[in-house]
Amino acid sequence: MLCLVADPVAAERVAALNPATRSLAGLYAEGAPREEAYERMVAEILAPVRAGRRVCAVFYGHPGVFVAPGHAAVAAARREGLPARMLPGVSAEDCLFADLGVDPARDGCQTYEASAFLRRRPRVETSAALVLWQVGVVGSREHANAPDPRELPRLVSLLAGLYGEGHEAVVYQASPYPGVPPLVRRLRLAELDAAAVTPLATLYVPPQASG
């Protein structure tokens, strides 16, 4: 079994299920592009599969939501005629809907990775909710263990232009532990700065009031 989880408690839990579990976290290099680490992870997953072994790769959250090596490993195995499948999990967005009491079916919901949102500047429907992933590392392509929102001021400026500086948003981070509350930080867009985010933070921008 291979795993990539966000904290040592989760790693211990996975290891309790299979003492032979190996972590993929060591394939990251501080300051190096994340894509390079993802390629190494895919190679690590596929090597024993090609050798005829059964492999389970465990990722935190949903293995198909912001887990590039999860999709890449499954696709590569299938291209080679090897059996592979992905089982669903619970993503940070699922936790957000529950913790904030948000129903995405009510007003609609738009979801983007923060750096891609800033780069592409998609048309935004302000009467629907907006969820921006990885706002704590917006603009960064390197792996980092600390917040590195180098383009956060530009993102704030873009959002303030759409919603107004006084529009309330929520910096959110799901709790990885039972009984421990999530991070829920409500603030005006004008107050959104590097001190308000974490590396795993998601930004929820509620719909703009009509009328």
**Residue spans of alpha helices (H) in the chain:** 8-17, 34-50, 68-79, 92-100, 104-107, 114-120, 152-163
CA distance 64 to 72: 10
177 is catalytic: no
Catalytic residue among 34, 40, 185, 188: 34
Pair 140, 155: CB distance under 8 Å: no
34 is catalytic: yes
60 is catalytic: yes
Q: Which two structure tokens, joined as six digits, stand for 68?
A: 């590039």
- The number of angstroms, rounded, from the C-alpha of 206 to the middle of its chain's C-alpha atoms is 19
Catalytic residue among 13, 28, 38, 53: 38
Catalytic residue among 28, 60, 163, 204: 60
Catalytic residue annotation: 34, 38, 60
